Structure 1
Amino acid sequence: MNSTASQASILPVELRGVTCRFGRKAVLRGVEMELRAGEIVGLLGQNGAGKTTLFTILVGLRQGDAGARLFGGVERREVELEIRARLAWLAHDPQLYPLLSARENVELFVDLAGSTRPSGAPTPRAVLERLGLADVIDRPVGTFSRGMAQRVALARALALEPELLILDEPFTALDRAGRELLADLLRAEAARGAAVLLSSHDLDVVAELVDRALLLDAGVIALEVQRERGQTTDEFRRRLSASL
């Protein structure tokens, strides 16, 4: 990782007994989760299961009603700027500035990070080129397809080399080449030591990519399926299908 010596890693990231209510509805009812360096974790669950709520609690955009959130073994009631700078959340909506170019969108994000940006992080141009956007780097993203905009949002998420990468349905609107590129990038992020958490309704994608799969159901992590050593993608997919 590119964290300075004075900064302890924010990993592992843990949720302990996290609950969240919206009025009378209990969305999360005691979630237990741990995300470790170098692994890719898939979060499964039906629409409305609370996956996005869980993500927003992890990154500090929402506070749970009870329970604890820990970074590097330290409980954090608030997610301070120094921690936020070391995690990235790719929401289902790319949330880009349509009148700015792809390069300007990423440069703005990097500029806002200021001194929290790791010294060895790639340039905006390099990360956009890595995502296959070299030919459109200076075009306004308002002219992009949904899949291309998704790539720009991913470039923005990777620009600071986050320790924790959280992605809400990241394969949406990507063509086959885009899905394969994204899968390779996420494997590379895990190989460099990041923790990756993603949600997807595509069981084939999850089976091919993740080290662990978690099922969020009735407000709790109801099931965990670990990829076994030497297990093929087809074998892991069958285990997932049988468990869900």
Structure 2
Amino acid sequence: MPPRSPNAVTLRDVSRVFGRSYALHRVSTTLAAGSITALLGNNGAGKSTLLNILATVDAPSDGEVRFGKVAFRDFARRGRARIGWVSHQTLVYDELTGRENLTFFGQLYGIPHIQKLAETWLERVGLSAAADRPVGTYSRGMKQRLTIARALLHDPQLVLLDEPATGLDQAGTALVSNLLGELRKEGRIVVIISHNFSLIETLADNVLILRKGQLRASGPLPPGTSLISHYQAHA
């Protein structure tokens, strides 16, 4: 039986070592339900490594990660269905239509009445008119919209987004912004990596800034401080 959806994810002194180098070094933080956390840092700061650990596709070398009351190893084995992940790869199939992609992934998750739910998500991400076209004919932005629908289709509690606005035009970015606001209201735990500071500044409840694998700043953006100046001071 899968574990219950976590109401928080807690990291205590989490490190990840590759060879003799620390990709993460003693990172501690709590990600609360009903919040959006921005994960920022320069290239090589450890952002993707941390997101991979939260997605349970990589394990920490040291420290503790708990999903609610569930330990990392147990959640990795039984709780992945509670996670929705948008990575650099779209993880959708070019030879299938948009509708077929969502139906396929929904069936993998055992979602009942998936055809109706797929239709709902195609509409939510603005792809109803292209639902029955092969995804190989989609633009990059259209594929990204479908990827977001694929990641949220199964109603995950923990939502991990690595550059979700990639390839999106202004309308697509607004769609992402609206979806993130809805996820927060629904009590999800949302973690986002993005270079779109205007998107982050308007949405993030908390900002984590990594530098060379170490957490240099954690918490809400200080009042009267712009995100760019906060980032430049700590990254």
Normalising by structure 2, report the TM-score: 0.91
What is the rounded CA distance, in whole Å, between the counterparts of 1:106 and 1:20 in structure 2? Answer: 34
State the match for 2:166 in structure 1.
172
1:62 to 39, 58, 62: 58
Deviation at 1:235, TM superposition (A): 5.2
Percent identity over the alignment?
38
What is the rounded CA distance, in whole Å, between the counterparts of 1:239 and 1:147 in structure 2? Answer: 30
What is the rounded CA distance, in whole Å, between the counterparts of 1:219 and 1:81 in structure 2? Answer: 26
What is the rounded CA distance, in whole Å, between the counterparts of 1:158 and 1:81 in structure 2? Answer: 20
Deviation at 1:241, TM superposition (A): 4.9
Deviation at 1:118, TM superposition (A): 8.4
What is the rounded CA distance, in whole Å, between the counterparts of 1:95 and 1:119 in structure 2? Answer: 22
Aligned length: 234
Instruction: Summarize deviations over 1:73-125 as a string: whole Å, max 9, x none.
Output: 332224345411111111012121110111111111111112xx4899x7011
Instruction: Summarize deviations over 1:5-38 as a string: whole Å, max 9, x none.
Output: x963312011211111121221011111211111
1:14-93 correspondence runs (5 A): 14-80=10-76, 82-93=78-89
Report if aligned partners of 1:118, 1:161 keep a CA contact under 8 Å in 2: no
Deviation at 1:56, TM superposition (A): 1.0
What is the rounded CA distance, in whole Å, between the counterparts of 2:28 and 2:55 in structure 1? Answer: 16
What is the rounded CA distance, in whole Å, between the counterparts of 1:90 and 1:160 in structure 2? Answer: 13
CA RMSD, 1 decimal: 2.4
1:77-226 correspondence runs (5 A): 77-80=73-76, 82-114=78-110, 117=111, 123-226=117-220
Instruction: Summarize deviations over 1:109-166 as a string: whole Å, max 9, x none.
Output: 111112xx4899x701101110000100111111111111000000011111111100
Report if aligned partners of 1:168, 1:199 keep a CA contact under 8 Å in 2: yes
Instruction: Summarize deviations over 1:195-242 as a string: whole Å, max 9, x none.
Output: 1100011222211111111101121211024147xx6xx855366356
Q: Which sections of structure 2, spanning at least 5 residues, go unmatched?
A: none
Report if aligned partners of 1:57, 1:63 keep a CA contact under 8 Å in 2: yes
State the match for 1:237 in structure 2.
227
Report if aligned partners of 1:68, 1:77 keep a CA contact under 8 Å in 2: no
What is the rounded CA distance, in whole Å, between the counterparts of 1:195 and 1:224 in structure 2? Answer: 16
